[in-house]
Structure 1
């Protein structure tokens, strides 16, 4: 009985060990690439493409710095904040949404 359990355990560990096997040698994706242009030629191509307007001027990262202008003055916003705080203290606002 112990021999069967031992053999089963060894089989399970061997199967689990092979599941975590991985490639041991790293091969760079550009290992076989041979350039046909010099660095100076590539830079000149980039400059000419920029002058012709063929390159992206700015990469869009989703965080635009331009903010739309508000229609209220600073004093109006402050007054609205004060009114909102007073309403919350008075219990006029649903406490479920504000954790009161």
Structure 2
């Protein structure tokens, strides 16, 4: 009885597996495309359109990288961080969160 159930299960899985079969060979969507321009001509057209403002130079994602100029030197900042770390070690841990 178990052998019959096993064969039945194998047959069901084989039938279900064939339902998900895919095309064996990948065909690119642009497989038949042939360009009439050379790469240099395309680059020239792109540069001309960019100079005329006909295309977007880049997509804006809202994340502008603007760096603020500091007024202190690197040595001053390091000295401040060292002094801060030393003062935190010496005091009570609650001093970090609660001021008297």
TM-score tier by shorter-chain length is 0.5 to 0.7
| TM-score w.r.t. length of structure 2 | 0.57
Note the aligned Cα RMSD (angstroms): 3.5
**Match for residue 45 of structure 1?**
45
Residues paired across the two proteins, number? 92
Using the alignment, how far apart are the partners of 2:52 and 2:88 within structure 1?
59
Following superposition, the deviation at residue 69 of structure 1 comes to 1.3
* 9-18 vs 44-53, which moves further: 9-18
| TM-score w.r.t. length of structure 1 | 0.57
1:56-95 → structure 2 map (5 Å cutoff):
56-57=56-57, 64=65, 67-93=67-93
Query: Is the alpha carbon distance of 1:28 and 1:81 closer, same or farther for their aligned partners in structure 2, counting shifts above 3 Å?
Result: same
Query: Is the alpha carbon distance of 1:92 and 1:30 closer, same or farther for their aligned partners in structure 2, counting shifts above 3 Å?
Result: farther
Following superposition, the deviation at residue 26 of structure 1 comes to 0.8
Using the alignment, how far apart are the partners of 2:9 and 2:64 within structure 1?
54
